Amino acid sequence: MHNVVQSDLKSGGLVGRVETVAVVAVSHHGRLRVPSFASNVFRIAARELRESARSRWFLLYTAAFVALGLGVSYVSAASSGGSGLSGFGRTTAGLINLVILVVPLMALSAGAGSIASDRERGMLAYMLAQPITRLELLLGKFTGLAAVLLTSICLGFGVCAAILAWKGSRTDPVALASLVGLTFLLAMSMLGTGLMISVATRKSSVAMGVAIFSWLTLVFVSDLGLMAGAVALRMRIENLFALSLVNPMQVFKMWALVSSDTSLDVLGPAGLYATDTWGAGVTWIFACVMVLWIILPLTVAASIFSRRSPI
């Protein structure tokens, strides 16, 4: 038998009924059995998924993503001399730039506001008083928010592709699935960074400010910063390519272009160097960098979270 622990929480003069994520299993002998690691992570993720789905940011970001995607399609059709909506393949380049702007901001803000807001409302101390570890709480929040982001990404691309197909435009399912997968990897890397910011700050407003500043920095360094640095510092091509690998947004852009059978020559000398030096193996470099951008921020966040007070 499984019993979900519930209690009334008073914080800031507000009384609310709170459902905790701890589930206590009662054996046939009447003894309590502590839930497993996976069970706690799953229940925390489910709670985070329910709360995020009820929030306005989920609907707003998804609606904005769909609207901007359709707008990119119209612009692509106009630039190619057509009218109405253009095909999905023709809008890939515009969608890549759209993803770089919207998805990292969505993931960073979601992660940054997660633990910091719980600490500010007193919810974090209450949750950690249950039979769960801090690592379970962190991984549960990451899993739940990742599921929300994946849903938003799939809805955004899915609605855009459905409308394009309804209008008679050709849509490549393989190219669409590839772009969705790469977008989700970028979202998870930024989500981990947002959680790292969240555990390091005590107020949600500060966490959101740091997250937006980080987003602006990464967007600036993605293209304009690399071009300015290459000219000002007279970087060697291999150093310029190595510097571009530091930014997950730039890695996503290069990987998405390779997946869409577009030559990296469009990115200038760094892209040409990557193609000539690594060939098809450059995708493995991109994959390793994206995985590191997911693991390292989560590891740092877990280390900071294990030492910080929940209050």
The domains of the chain are located at 2-305
Is the pLDDT assigned to residue 72 strictly greater than 80?
no
DSSP assigned state of 223: I
Cβ atoms within 10 Å of 200's Cβ, excluding its own? 18
Let me know if 283 is exposed, middle or buried by CB neighbors in 10 A (0-12, 13-18, 19+): middle
- pLDDT for position 1: 40
Q: Per-residue pLDDT averaged across 294-305, rounded? A: 94
What pTM does this model have? 0.81
Cβ atoms within 10 Å of 284's Cβ, excluding its own? 10
Strands (E), the chain: 2-11, 14-26, 32-33
For the ranges 6-10, 29-33, 232-236, which has the lowest average pLDDT?
6-10
- pLDDT for position 37: 81
Cβ atoms within 10 Å of 193's Cβ, excluding its own? 28
Could you read off the pLDDT of 121-132 as tens digits, one per residue?
888 888 888 888
Is the pLDDT assigned to residue 91 strictly greater than 50?
yes
- Tokens matching residue 274: 């990557």
> pLDDT grade, residue 225 (50/70/90)?
low
112 neighbors 206 (Cβ within 8 angstroms): no
Could you read off the pLDDT of 128-152 as tens digits, one per residue?
888 888 999 999 999 999 999 998 8
Phi, psi of 114 (to 5 degrees): -75, -75
> Higher pLDDT residue, 15 or 277?
277
